[in-house]
Chain A
Amino acid sequence: MQKERAQIRLFSSLGKGTGDLIRKLGSMALFFAEGFCKIFRRKQTREIINQVFYIGAKSTNIVILIGLFTGMVLGLQLYYTLIKFGSEGVLGSVISLSLIRELGPVLTAIMITARAGSAMAAEIGILRISEQIDALYTMRIDPVRYIVSPRIAAAIISFPLLTAFFDLIGILGGYLTGVLLLGVNAGAYFYRVQSYLDIVDIRGGFIKSLVFAVLVATICCYQGFFTHLRTDSYGAKSVSLSTTSAVVMSCVMILVSDYVVTSFLM
């Protein structure tokens, strides 16, 4: 009897958890759809430019830094692996393919989540708890249009650009270690990069960065926008928890969706 009850409790909590998750995902999808549609309303250009500057331009330095060191580490690791097979000549192609297909979009998305995504969730959360979002409503300014849409638009513009930047700097990083430090032929390095890369690889990386942009912007804005609906905390604590949830959920979703998108692209 007790065993049956425990099983019922287990299935009941599983069902409730699944139901909540589906409801939340549906709610996020609607939130994104609303935010995306309102990108094309009037008076958005200035806000979108501001957000592109914040999410995109201000993330450039960190993307350059991470891209450079990722490329350099890849150069080191792959050189000593490839040399065992006498294939160090293909270093350029291996580095460029790993960066463009996989590491570029993923690491760029994670870096932007850490830098701009957390700020998005925290800023919108504070707007919410200090009644500034309500104030927008009372002034007949649509809060989703004014706050969320520019951030979604900016993410969609910035993610692919920063990813491209990351890839380029990463390839140069690989060049630094592979060619300048370890003595791979410079001509061979760039020839392999050029000859093995296909437009399909670049398009795949571009699609991934777009998917990540939508996920990160939606999750971070959603967590901030509905921070007042949290039942586990209130006020400043709810903003901090929303920010944490936004970052963790974004990172998890980046990796999960990376697998899904890759499996479709392959």
Chain B
Amino acid sequence: MDVPLIEFREVTKRFGDRTILDQISLKIYENQITTIIGKSGTGKSVLLKHIIGLLEPDEGTILFRARPVRDMGKGEWDAYRSQVSYMFQNNALFDSLTVFDNIALPLRQTTNLRKREVMRKVMTRIQQTELTEVVRKYPSELSGGMQKRVALARALVTDPKIVLFDEPTTGQDPIRKNIILGMIAHYRRLFGFTAVLISHDIPDVFFIADRIILLWEGKAAFEGSYEESTHLDHPMIDEFLHSLEGFQDELTGLLSKQVFKNRYTMTLQRGKVDTTISAILFTVEFEPVADAFGAPIFEILKIMGENINDYFGPLGGFSARHQRNQLLTILPHITLADAQSLLDTFAQRLWQEAFIDIQTMVRSRMGADMCLNLSVKAGIIEGRSTDDIDTIIALAETAQRTVAVYRCDQGGETS
């Protein structure tokens, strides 16, 4: 892998007798969204404050592009900091300044831009974050969600290369949470910055995270992708990530991953009876992704899950959510040809019923003129019940093709 953009090497930070970061080592890569998760009080914000220089480590080294930041001269350090922006948990907006002045503040104070240029840059960000109606208002006159957007606009107005988000979705309702996460994902693509995000909003945040870092007792207990995290059997990972599965599956209405695996093992692999099975791996995609985050994603997955259960359940099939937006169904004793036929019928049902239900739900939650482009891919394979479940999933993933699409301008269709 490339040289990390930011690297912590055995960094320790103590406040009095309390060790918050205990010889922590981690890496943050360029152009990725890295999400830092962990229980309250594990030092997530402290870690973020080290990156921007608000705090200094007691021991250890922080490197920026392999260069220790403590060895940087004043000019180099200033140049580094000019690339980093920080969005505070409580927004830290200046109460005595208007929305416009809050956003313009870093440009007015740290650049030599002309008044007109400052105005242009600020108004661009204001339009992008949909704040045009509150330009002359003060932060106390805005809702929590709007204040977040002002803080986001201020964080982005200097075109930073690295943006640190300290719990950007805290205190927001589920729809707002998704909007903010969507905004981060959208702007990251638009402006190409590296994002480091602290969030408790699991699993929502996994939809946008390229990389996850789990802080546990002052150390990075896990670093890697969401997919990698699901394969780990580390007790701390279990406690933190897998404990959330009940919550996830309450939302999707499907089996939890562990229950699914148990059922697969107990019903199919017990006694090593070799029988035919088919597996279908569904992937639900939203377009445009930024708009999708405004929608209640788990509601969409729940409707999908209900349809899959209703259709494949009576045939002996059982399903679980596999990854962020993937659902896996196992059909025991069903051949590939039969499964393909079932899938074709199910695809019809998707655009005749499920997509309509989803659009109705989206409109009821987000407004009558809201519409979401949806597509469902499915990969179908035949295997033996003695096969390893992970192998089956991997094969099904490679066989995926689009089976049903809903375009707002055309309605649903199957392929």
Contacts and interface: CB of A to CB of B under 8 A. Distances in A.
B92 A141 contact: no
Interface in A111-145: 130-132, 134-135, 137-141
Nearest to A146: B109
Given A137-B54, A138-B52, A138-B84, A43 B92 contact: no
B106 A139 contact: yes
Contacts of B154: 139
Contacts of B52: 137-138
A154 to B, nearest CB: 16
Contact of A139 (B49, B78, B95, B110): B110
B331 to A, nearest CB: 54
Given A134-B54, A138-B84, A140-B82, A43 B90 contact: no
Contacts of B105: 139, 141
B54 A141 contact: no
A132 B154 CA distance: 13
Contacts of A134: 49, 54, 88, 92
Interface in A59-103: none
A139 to B, nearest CB: 4
Nearest to B164: A138
A131 B88 contact: yes
B110 A132 contact: no
A132 B94 contact: yes
The winner among B82, B95, B109, B158 for most chain A CB atoms within 10 A is B109
Contacts of B86: 135, 138
Interface in B128-180: 154, 158
Contact of A130 (B78, B92, B109): B92
B54 A43 contact: no
A101 B108 CA distance: 43
B106 A140 contact: yes
A80 to B, nearest CB: 49
A131 B167 CA distance: 14
Contact of A141 (B49, B88, B90, B110): B110
Given A138-B85, A139-B105, A130 B90 contact: yes
Contacts of A138: 52, 54, 84-86
A112 to B, nearest CB: 20
A138 B108 CA distance: 15
B81 interface: yes
Closest 8 CB pairs of A and B: A135-B92, A138-B86, A139-B106, A131-B92, A141-B109, A140-B110, A132-B92, A138-B52
17 contacts: A43-B109, A130-B95, A131-B90, A132-B92, A132-B94, A134-B88, A135-B86, A135-B88, A135-B94, A137-B53, A138-B54, A138-B84, A139-B105, A139-B109, A140-B82, A140-B106, A141-B109
